[in-house]
Each structure stands twice: as structure tokens, then as C-alpha cells.
Amino acid sequence: MTGIDLPDGEYTAVVDGVEDGLATVFFERDGDEVGDAVLDASRLPPDGGHADAVLSVTLDGGRIEAALYEPEETERRAEAAQDRFDRLSERPPSDEGA
């Protein structure tokens, strides 16, 4: 498995999914997605090894030096996504097909 091709520093990481011991993770900095990687799931914090988990990570030399699960941010993002879904599902039906 290759290293993470991002500059050293602090990132927000979002776990997209975990399958067969591998985690697909998207990295963000300042609210923008800056990269992604497929990692051995054992490199993630035990409580953050699930889809949609939000982590604070420190990268050094293309490797995760430190990773901390952020349960409050994980919950906030889940609620925001649910709110968007609820708003979309409340749109009035179109006149087409009537």
C-alpha cells in the first residue's frame, strides 16, 4: 500500500467506507476536499472505523502520524445530510404527469 500523496500537516478525514479490512478515506483542508486514499482500516481509531466517521488526522511523510475520532462532527454532518434529504423530499410534486 502506498503512502498518502498529500503535504504533511493537519487534515479532516472522512471515512467513505470500510470493506475487507480496507478503508476509503477522503481528506479535507479548510472545507475543501484535497485528496483520498485507501488505507488499512487498522490505521484508523477503533471508534472511527465506520462509514461517515469524521477524523482529525496529522500526516507526516505520507503516513498518518495521529488520528482522532470526532464524534460531535460526525453527528453534525449526519444531521446536516438528513436535513438536506428531508428538505428535498418535501418539495411539492411537479405538474408533469398529472
All structural domains of the chain with their residue ranges: 9-89
Taking only the tens of pLDDT, the chain with its 98 residues reads 457 999 999 999 999 999 999 999 999 999 899 999 999 999 999 999 999 999 999 999 999 999 999 999 999 998 988 888 888 888 776 666 54
What's the pLDDT score for residue 89?
87
Task: Find, among 14, 91, 5, the residue nearest to 48 by Cα.
Answer: 14
Distance, in Å, from the CA atom of 49 to the CA atom of 33, rounded to the nearest integer, reads 19
